[in-house]
Structure formats: structure tokens, C-alpha cells
Amino acid sequence: MSVVTDPKTGLIDGPVHDRLAALSRARGWYGWAGYAAPSVLDTVEFEYFALRNQCALFDISPMHKYRLTGPDASAVLNRLVTRDVTRIRPGRVGYAVWCDEEGMVIDDGTLFRLGAQDWRLCCQEPMLTWLIEAAWGFDAEVRDESDTLAGLALQGPTAFAVLEAAGWDVAALRPFDHAGLGEVMISRTGFTGDLGYEIWMPWAEATAVWDRLWAAGGPWGLRAIGYAALNIARIEAGFLTAGVDFQPVHATERLHRGKTPYELGLGRMVDMTKGHFNGRRALAKARPRSLLMRVDVEGFKPAQGALVYHRKRREVGHVTSGVWSPTAKRNIALAHVALPWATRTPPDLWAEIYTLEEGRWDTRMARLTPVEGAFFAPQRARATPPGHT
Amino acid sequence: MSRFDAIVIGGGINGLVAAAVLGRRGRSVCLLERSDRLGGMAGADGAYPRMAHLLYNLGPLVRKDIGLGARDWPFRTVALPTVALNPGGAHVRIDGAEARFVDGRPHPDAAAYRALVTRLGGYGALLRRLAEAPPPGGDAAWTDPAALKQMLRLGGFGRALRQMGKAEMRGFLKVLLSNAYDLILDELPDGPLAGALAADAVRGLAMGPRSPGTVFSLVYRHGHGGTVSLPVGGMAAVVAALAEAARAAGATIRTGTAAARLLCEGDRVIGVETGAGEVLMASRVLSSAAPLATARMAGLDRFDIEASRRMRLIRARGTVAKINLRLSALPRIDGLPDDLLGARLLLAPSAEAVETAFNPAKYRQMSDEPILEALLPGVTDPAQDAGGAVALSIIAQYAPSDLAGGWTDAARDRLLAAVVARLSTVAPDLPALVAGAEVLCPDRIEAETGAPGGHWHHAELGLDQLLTIRPANGLGHYAMGLAGLYLCGAATHPGGDVMGLSGRNAALAALGDGP
């Protein structure tokens, strides 16, 4: 169910396009849910280091956002997702994943509990028809807020200081808290694994909010960034991207391209004790076929797209995301590896990396070393109140 | 609180058969019927037929499995000839594959008709192999005895297909998915004989003879012999025999008791709460209620979103109205000898007329010239006449369940007038004889039986809703996902007509048994 852009319409402007266009020296735009989004505004390096050492502003308005309200809203969501949403209290945000009837992941996203009977789901894939289907027969209303609610991600060690300078007091927000502050709602969430916030507001308010942050951010090194820099950060954090690290099963046309939460390393998100949820019966019977692993890749050549071999001979998987991590100073990757090879000790896994150097293709086998946890998880991401730098 | 091995919801034909089969296998069974009368769509007021009035396909297999012995039913059945009425022309008498004019003259198309019906019967015998067993497929490993049996059966189907000979097999596969209209008119000139076949192909369906898939439904009907019989004592005798079989098998039958809620524990059903709040415990519940209604009794949140969507989208647009007339005297039908008044009378003058009657139904209108199956049961079985009056039982098509404007009194009157007017083209004295009329439109049929849309077969017999995907993908093996819960109504495979096979197959599935 990927978004198809009408070639006649072309990409359309997001809520802060004027500001982004003015900053875009690279003029690198890509289509994100039909919107023109920056892949890079200046250079990836500048933007990445701003994100990790100062702070960065990234427009996340093209995300799909859905509001679920009504007496049965929680029941509908509990039917939809694999975790028990009743444990997400009002004022909190929860990461969630949801499956089809075969237990294959449709998408993942964040659930904002705005009230006892009031929820917002933010995700990458269009989900309106699926949510309406999930809510059919229940006393709950589904509303698509994708084009009415804008979001700006402010991420990095000085993010708290910028918000403070802009006049928003979020000192009390713990990770995964959210709070309404006047016109905006601010959540301590993000896609970088670092200290960071997401600011949510009506579409028409986004430019004013951007300007307010921009004015406050100068002394704190605030920079606008594109997706390329963010992508490095999210791989460092070990986060998955739909369509890259897993194929949202509703968007696949071939059989058996879906993955279960277990296969994506999201088993902790599955609560088999909460009662029925979509795909539960299939998941109860499912045996993982492969595992999404975090690996450290020998050498410094990014392993993106490389095939994975066991003992350099048997093909057992492939790398979905691979990048040199400037912060971890490691060559890191996420890779799907078939079982049982994913869990063998010693692993003896290798990535076959193709390189192109000035017209010459070459291939090399790079040893993969499994890594537990995120490649980069700074303490500052969890401190409350957070520091200024 | 009472405890049973199994609870059957709904006391229609399939519910009764399911209860009897389970009881015969030593299970304690309680059957709940919300109305005061058993039989569902086959239920009757006394001997007088109310909805279904004839038997097509009640099989010996069902009879054997409910313990009625292999020889015959405890009621007598009289095979009826069919008369294809021809307003202003010569009526045609049909006995099985034989057609001739009612005055005994040979019909010029008799040979072609015989060849076609014989062919359909051959196809039907083949399909019956699939109908009598649960649909193929399922989760079982192939080494599982049930799965092995199933493979053998499918192998048998394939072998039978091969044994037809190459030309016949090609012919079968070519026509199976196509439309009845073309098949019939390839062999016969259009007229009452072709019309009779066309009408039989679409009875109860939201399809016209030109709709794809109607060959399948025609074959389905002929597969079981295509003979039509009148139970002596009416449908009430049939229902009584099935109820008696269920009771003899030890089943408790409770009428006037609606199932309100399915009780669940974890991912299993553990019992039923009745409308009166009584709790009945059982590890298996078989429901002949509509799939979605059944799911709602357990709570939709116990089913996957795909499953509830499929249940919601099951096509069940009823197109049949049942009209029960009381006449002050036997009508006279022009050109029909008196000894044929008791026949199944079809008023479908041509295949074209059937298709034309279907046209308004596409646009939520009733047919101006409806296709009729009329029966004077009292001619054959005097007990079936209603309180001194002559009973005329009519199945009228098309009367769509989603009629624009709804089935108001005025709409019902209009339908009745259209039906009477249509009949008066062959029986001019009929209007004067009508002493009373009951018009059961799809809305009433739905209200009384729970069949969605008042659909004659509980769910459309379309190619997308047959065999492993009847009534919907994922529900084709009677199980509903929630452990211990099974569907056993006519909406499941093989479904339709008064067959009882759905109930039997579901009971066997619930027993964890192969066929």
C-alpha cells in the first residue's frame, strides 16, 4: 500500500516547504508519502554531526497520523497491535507493531494516548482503510490526521536547551511522555536514539513553530537536516525502517515476503497473554524462519545490500541497512539471517560487499560480528530533566 | 448451569442434523432454537409449507449418519414431475431427463434435452464427490489420517475426471465456470424447456442465467439427481423426522431459547449464555446462525480483522419471496390435464424471460414478470391444504432484499399483484379464487430465520463462495478460529437447498473426524 504519486501532480509541498527550500543548497528532494522531503539540504556530514553534537530539525509531517476516539478505541487498538495498549497511560507514548492474520508485520509506529478514549497512531504506511476495518463493529471513530497535523522532530543533545530558549518548558517530560503546551503538543520521542522531541501542531501553525525554534536555536547549533543524516542515526539506534528492514506485508505482492515480529527481533512487543489480537493464532504457531540481526561489519565499507554467507559459502541472508557509524566508529549493519545460522556460535557469518572504486568493481568478504542492543545509546537520551548539551 | 459436550445453535435442517450426528457419536448435545418452531427455512405451520416446500437434495448420506437407516426416510416422498408452463402454448412435462408435451405428444427437443440433462447429471455426480465431504485443504499435515483420506478423495475426483474421457473432461472444465444461458441455448431453442433449466440454475440467487457461475449452480442441483419430491405430511414431516433422530441420539432440543452470547476462556469457547441469562457449558459450539452473527456473539475482537471483514462481506442478497396463497377451489390451468395439477409448476417461459426478470433486481427493483415455482401440495397430499382451503405455495423471483424503498406493505402488495397477474396468464380464474395471501419477502425471511438478506441458501452460491471458500476464505472448514467454535449452517459448504450436508460435515469436523 505504498503511496503512488500522481505524475501530473508531482510532489507537493509540506507545511514548512518554504523554510526548507530556502535552506536547500543541495536541492536534493525525494518523495515521502507524496510530499517533497529533503534527502539532504547542505551536506550529509554537516547534518549528521549537527544531529549528534548539537541539534537538528527535521520535518516529519508526511508521516501518517490517525486519531482513534470513542469508548472502544482501546479495544480496537488492542485488537490491532501485538502489545497491550491498556498499559500505555494517558500522557504516554508507546511503540507498537501490528500484524496481519498470518502474523506478518503490517507496519510499526507510535501510539500516543491523549486521553482515556483518545489515541493517535503515527506510522509510515497508509493505514486508514485497515484502521476503519479494525474499528468496524466497534464504538470508535477513526480520523485521518495525516494532512492536518504537522510534526517537527527536534533531535540532538541541545534539543532540550533549544525548546527552553524557545519558551517551551519540557523539563518534566521523561522519555515517551507527551504534553500539550499551548498550541503545540510535544512528545519526548524520536527516531535517532538520542535526546530529542517531536513537536506536533496544526498544519498551518508549522511555519510559525519552525521560525520560533529557528530563532531560539542559533546559539545551540540548530541545523535543518534531510533524511540521509537521519538514516545514519536511526541505524546507529538500531531502529527499523518500513520497506527497508522489513517489507510491510500489505505492500508486498509476492508470497512469503512478510516477517513476524519475532523475526524482526520485536518479540518483546508481543503480549500473548492480553487476549486475542490480529495474527495471534498464527504467531502462537509460528516458528521463526530468520532473524533481523545487528552486526558489526569488518572493515569500513558499508555493507548495504550485501548478501550474507555462512562460512563464506552458504548464502543465508542479506544486509538491509548498512552504514559507517561516525559516532560508534564502527561499520554497522542490520541483516536478515536465516535460522539456524543466525544463532550459531561461533557465528561464522560473512557479508559479500561489492565496491566500486573509480570504475573498478570488486568484491570482498567481511566478517560479521553480532551485536546486542543499539550501536549507540547515550545516557543523555534518558536523563530527566535532560542536560543542555 | 448445565454442561454438554456440544451445543448447537439454531434448529434448522443443518442444526438438527448436526445435533443428531454428534449425539450418534456419543456426545451430549443441546440444541437451541430461538423461535418456537424447528426447521428454520424448512419450518412449517402444520402440514402447510411456509418457506421451502419441496425436497431436492436431502441425501442418503445424511440419513445414514443420523441413524435413520440406509433404506428410506420415516416419511414418504412422492417424486413430482415438473411442468414448464407455456402461456398461450403447449406446456411441457419433465420427468428427470424426459420431456414431452403434457398431452403426451413427443417434444421436438426431447432428445437434446435428455442429452443435456444427462451430461449435467454426469458433471453433478463428479461434483458430489466434493460436496459430500468437507472441502479440501486445511491445516493438517499430509501424514495426518484425515489429510490422507482427503488426498485419496481428491485423487478419486481427479481419476473420475480422467475417466470421463478427454472430450467430456474438456467440455466439463470449459462450461463449469460459464453461464447457464449459453450452455442451455447451445443445445435447445429458447422456450419453456430452456426456461425451466434457467430458472433452476438461478433459484434463490442474485444472478440471472447469463451470470457467470450459473452452470455450476445448475450442475449442483442436478448432481443430486435433479429429482424433486414432495414429502408426505409436508416439510413438517421432514423436520419432525430430523428432530426425532436428534432426540433419539440423545440430544436435548430447546425451542424458544435464543443464544445470546458465546462464553469464552482464553482462545476457546466454553459455553453459551441464553437470552434469558442461563449459562450452558460446552467445549464445542456449532452455530447455524450467520457467520457474522455468530462472531458477534463471541465478540468481534476474538477474530482477526481479515476474518471479520470477510464475514461482513459475504454476499447474501436474497432475491426470493415466498408467497402462500389460500384458494377457495383448485384453479384450472389452461391446457394442463388435472392429473398434472400436483406437479411442480414452473412459470419461466424462456431463458430470456428469466434473464429479463433478473434485470430490475440489479437496480434494486422487483421483477414485473417474476419467475415462479408454484406448487399445489394438497393435490398430492391432501393434508397439506390449509384449513379447508386449497394451498398454493409459490417461490417468486426476483424480489431483492435491498428493494429500493424497502419492503413496505405497498411493495408487498405490488409483488403479490404481479405474481397473481403472472399466474393468471395460465390460470385465468386464479384471481377470483384467492381467499388469503401471505407474502414473505426477504426481509421477513431474514427476520424469521436469521438468514442474512433472507437468502434462500443463506449465502450466495457464487463461484467465490463455494467449496474451500464457502462462505468465505478462511472459514471453509467449519472452524472459525476461536477453538471449539464451528459453523454448521447452509452458509457453509456445500450449503443450499434442503440438504443437511453442512450440518453433517460440521459435526464431523467438530468431532475432529474426517468424513
| pLDDT at A1 > cutoff 50 | no
State whether A336 and A353 are in the same domain.
yes
Model pLDDT, residue B127: 76
Single-letter residue type at B309: R
Give Cβ neighbours of residue A313 (< 8 Å, ≥ 6 apart). Answer: none
| pLDDT 10s digits, B258-305 | 999 999 999 999 999 999 999 999 999 999 999 999 999 999 999 999
Contact by Cβ (8 Å): B21, B45: no
> Alpha helix (H) ranges present in B6-109?
13-24, 60-65
Across A56-65, A328-337, B219-228, least confident range: B219-228
Last residue of a domain, one of A121, A144, A167: A144
Q: pLDDT category, B515, cuts 50, 70, 90? A: very low
Identify the pLDDT of residue B150: 66
B304 vs A278: CB contact, 8 Å cut-off?
yes
**Residue A279 falls within a domain, yes or no?**
no
A86 lies in the same domain as A155:
no
Tell me the pLDDT band of B211, cut-offs 50, 70 and 90: very high
A contacts of B303 (beta carbons < 8 Å) = 276
Question: Between B308, B474, B481, which is nearest A137 by CB?
Answer: B308
Query: Quick one: cell of A77?
Result: 487498538
Show the cell assigned to A106.
503490517
What integer pLDDT is reported at residue A4 of this predicted model? 63
Do A88 and A39 share a structural domain? Answer: no
pLDDT(B225) > 80? no
Q: Are residues A189 and A204 in the same domain?
A: yes
Of B301, B306, B309, Cβ closest to residue A276: B301
- Report strand pairing: B434-440 vs A184-187: unpaired
Write down the mean pLDDT value for chain B: 91
Which CATH architecture fits B2-76+234-315+455-510? Answer: 3-Layer(bba) Sandwich (3.50)
- Give per-residue pLDDT as tens, A323-357: 999 999 999 999 999 999 999 999 999 999 999 99
Average the pLDDT over each of A94-103, A137-146, A225-234, B133-142 and give the range with the smallest value.
B133-142
Question: Does any domain span residue A386?
Answer: no
pLDDT value at B58 more than 90: no
Q: Of A96, A121, A144, at which residue does a domain stop?
A: A144
Rounding to the nearest 10 degrees, give the CA dihedral for residues B72, B77, B79, B84: -140
Please list every residue in chain A whose beta carbon sits closer than 8 Å to the beta carbon of residue B312: 136-137
Q: In whole angstroms, give the CA distance from residue A377 to residue B260.
A: 53
Q: In this model, does residue B132 exceed pLDDT 70? A: no
Any domain includes A34: yes
**A360-388 average pLDDT score:** 94
Average pLDDT for residues B154-162, to the nearest whole number? 72
Per-residue pLDDT averaged across B440-469, rounded?
91
Give me the residue from B305, B312, B481 closest to A281, CB to CB. B481
What is the per-residue pLDDT across B485-506, written as a single tens digit (0 to 9) for each?
Answer: 999 999 998 876 767 889 999 9
Q: With a cut of 70, say whether residue B49 has pLDDT above it.
A: yes
- Report the 10 Å Cβ neighbour count for A186: 22
Q: Is residue A122 part of a domain?
A: yes
pLDDT band of residue B228 (cuts 50, 70, 90) is confident
pLDDT at B56 over 90: no
Exposed / middle / buried, residue B444 (Cβ in 10 Å: 0-12, 13-18, 19+): middle
Residue carrying C-alpha cell 543499539: A374
Provide the shortest C-alpha distance from residue A2 to chain B (in Å): 20
Instruction: Give yes or no: residues A71 and A25 share one domain.
Output: no
Sequence-ordered list of residues with C-beta below 8 angstroms from that of B31, at least 6 positions apart, any chain? B7, B8, B9, B10, B11, B15, B16, B19, B246, B251, B252, B253, B254
What percentage of chain A reaches a pLDDT higher than 90?
A: 96
Cell of A277: 489480537
Q: What are the extents of the domains in chain B?
A: 2-76+234-315+455-510, 113-226, 318-449
Closest residue in B to A281 (Cα) is B481
Number of domains making up chain A: 3
Query: Among B18-32, B165-179, B241-255, whose mean pLDDT is lowest?
Result: B165-179
Has residue A364 been placed in a domain?
A: yes
Inform me whether the pLDDT recorded for B47 exceeds 60.
Answer: yes
The CATH number of the domain where A167 resides is what? Answer: 3.30.1360.120
Nearest Cα residue in chain B from A277 = B304
Domain-located, residue A387:
no
Long-range pairs of B103-111 with CB within 8 A, sequence gap ≥ 24? B103/B335, B103/B337, B107/B193, B109/B188, B109/B189, B109/B191, B109/B193
Of residues B46 and B395, more confidence is placed in B395
Q: Which helix (H) or strand (E) holds B485?
A: strand B485-487
Domain hosting residue A90, numbered range: 65-144
Q: Is A39's pLDDT higher than 70?
A: yes
Following DSSP, what letter does each residue of B362-379 receive, concatenated?
A: HTT---SS-EEEEE-HHH
Are residue A152 and residue A126 in the same domain, yes or no? no
The answer as to whether A157 is a domain residue is yes
Res. A122: pLDDT tops 60: yes
CA of B498, closest CA in chain A: separation in Å?
32
Q: What is the pLDDT of residue B317?
A: 96
Residue with cell 521560525: A211
**In angstroms, what separates the C-alpha of A177 from chain B's closest C-alpha?**
29
Distance from CA of A128 to the nearest CA of B (A): 14
CATH number reported for the structural domain that contains residue A369 in this entry:
2.40.30.110
Q: If pLDDT is split at 50, 70 and 90, which confidence band does B514 have?
A: very low
Say yes or no: A233 and A151 in one domain: yes
Decide if B301 and A279 are in contact by the 8 Å CB cutoff. no
Q: Write down which residue in A144, A161, A196 finishes a domain.
A: A144
Chain B residues touching chain A at CB-CB below 8 Å: 267, 296, 300-309, 312, 474, 481
Summarize the confidence of residues B243-248 as an average pLDDT.
Answer: 96
Using a CB-CB cut-off of 8 Å, the residues of chain A touching B308 are: 133, 136-137
Which residues in chain A have their CB less than 8 angstroms from residue B305's CB? Answer: 79-80, 101, 130, 133-134, 278
Chain A residues within 8 A of B267 when measuring between CB atoms: 276, 280-281
Residue B513 is predicted with a pLDDT of 52
Q: Which of B296, B309, B474 sits opposite A133 (nearest CB)?
A: B309
